[in-house]
Amino acid sequence: MTIGWCFDNTYSRLPEAFKENINPVPVKKPELIILNKDLAQRLNLNFSGLNNKEISELFSGNSLPPESNSIAQAYAGHQFGHFTMLGDGRAVLIGEHLSKKRDRYDIQFKGSGKTAFSRNGDGRAALGPMLREYIISEAMYSLGIPTTRSLAVVKTGEEVVRETPLKGAILTRVALSHIRVGTFQYIAARQKKDELEILLNYVIERHYPNIKKSKNKSIDLLETVMEKQIDLVINWMRVGFIHGVMNTDNMSLSGETIDYGPCAFMDIYDPKTVFSSIDQMGRYAYCNQPVIAKWNLSRFAECLVPLIDKDQDKAIKLATELINSFEKRYEEKWLNMMRDKLGLFGIEQKDKFLILDLLTWMHQKKVDYTNTFCHLMNFDIQKNENFNDNDFKNWKKRWQERLKTNNNTTEKCIELMRRVNPLVIPRNHKVEEVLNEANKDNLEPINQLLQILKNPYIYQKNINEYQVPPVSNKKYQTFCGT
Ligand code: AMP
Ligand code: MG
């Protein structure tokens, strides 16, 4: 029985400057930890004919599929506002796999050894962060949010040295592509217009063929990418997701959430929530995510200027006008998303105040974001005195009045809310708990968590322990130490 690989490696055929041809560095003793059978099926891949050893050899990069063609991609990026030349320093793209429906997916090994772009890094990754990416990216997928996905994690049998020695691992990441705003920044910095045009046409051909015949392809690409990013950030805001490191190299042009480093889900509602230990200024705080998305899109627009118009002033004017429409587009979509969370049909002027007043109340009372919406859907997780608060009761009366203008049945309203308000999210303390166990070779807890997170909008047996917020008030911190 064959696995079903169907490679067509278009990115590797781009000019030399775009990448380095390099194979993953073999590892000592690969051992499969987790394989995503659902995703494999979606990709029309079948690993059931392989034994565990063969699967481990495959996903460690020790034995590559014959049609693959590994490269490390070059890119640049603004990291916390500072421009740097980067590139895949610890990842290789082994190729683009086509599913039976001819959908194209990048297959990338993360933690696969040094490349030309490794700078001072070791090119490796640790087990904890790779399993963490697996959990959160799969949770995001099930929440209905565009994201890269995780096909497998293998231990390498080697140590990686961070603050302490850790178990090494490799994650197989699946993405619509790994082209980032930073990819454009890298090519734009080389100041060769022909290369920039090649990249523009490549991205349009691969992701947005509908604008192939546009009069101004670069401005239309900018607008399309802007809409994708707005939709993405609104999805993040909907579920309380904080990416944590929205550098321009971590913004994918396909509109997928990419690079799960210090990301985490907010529990108590506070717009200024930051989990990442290195984000001291709160640049990537929950409420700043749309602001940063706009900032990153402005950097993208700068790269495109030479292609927008021969007349530079005119090009800048066009790009600026478009970028300045961000807030209006965002606010409209954000309001609609929040209307959905509250089960509101139609549009009323007062909706905005109703929404903002709820958020202000949640912030003041320090209540759990996810579970407040569960309460509104008559789905209480635990006893919470806050919901007996008079301010909340008054707010609820206003909300119920507004629901009467819905012109829709209560069932429809609840149905709408149930579609957008998750009953369960990957809570930080739960994620830590299962990672600790996995590190001790107990994989049962992680598998249970993954199972629950597969259906975040549906009530499941045993769901309660995954819904309860952490008891401790200790501030949760995430680390880039990957
Ligand atoms: P990230 O913070 O994951 O977005 O990574 C930023 C840059 O650092 C990218 O170019 C990565 O490839 C690179 N990088 C991160 N960790 C390592 C590592 N252990 N070895 C080499 N490069 C790395
Ligand atoms: Mg990155």
**Dihedral (CA of 381, 382, 383, 387) sign:** negative
Output the CA 101–ligand 2 centroid distance in Å.
Answer: 29
Ligand 1 neighbourhood includes 86 CB (under 6 angstroms): yes
- Span 390-429, pLDDT tens digits: 999 999 999 999 999 999 999 999 999 999 999 999 999 9
* Residues with Cβ–ion distance below 5 A, ligand 2: 250, 259
Q: Give the pTM.
A: 0.98
**Domain-wise residue ranges, the chain:** 11-177, 334-420
pLDDT at res. 364: 98
Q: Running DSSP on this structure, what letter comes out for residue 90?
A: S
Q: Give the integer Cα–Cα distance in Å for 75 and 341.
A: 38
**216-225 burial, b for 16+ CB within 10 Å, e for fewer?**
ebbbbbbbbb
- For residue 214 the two structure tokens come to 């546009």
Ligand 1 neighbourhood includes 261 CB (under 6 angstroms): yes
Output the CA 444–ligand 1 centroid distance in Å.
Answer: 30
Q: Is 447's pLDDT higher than 70?
A: yes
- Span 163-172, pLDDT tens digits: 999 999 999 9
pLDDT at res. 471: 83
> Is 313 labeled as catalytic in the residue annotation?
no
- Span 344-380, pLDDT tens digits: 999 999 999 999 999 999 999 999 999 999 999 999 9
**Residue range 196-224: mean pLDDT, rounded:** 98
Give the closest residue (by CA) to ligand 1 atom 23: 89
- Which residue from 123, 144, 98, 119 is spatially nearest to 4, judged by alpha carbons? 98
Ligand 1 neighbourhood includes 168 CB (under 6 angstroms): no
**Residue range 25-35: mean pLDDT, rounded:** 98
Q: Is 1's pLDDT higher than 90?
A: no
Ligand 1 neighbourhood includes 456 CB (under 6 angstroms): no
**Residue range 202-229: mean pLDDT, rounded:** 98
Q: Is 481's pLDDT higher than 80?
A: no
Ligand 1 neighbourhood includes 90 CB (under 6 angstroms): yes
Degrees (nearest 5) of the Cα angle 254, 129, 372? Answer: 75
Degrees (nearest 5) of the Cα angle 219, 223, 229? Answer: 140
Q: Which of 25, 84, 90, 166 to mutate to test the pocket of ligand 1 (most atoms within 8 A of CB)?
A: 90
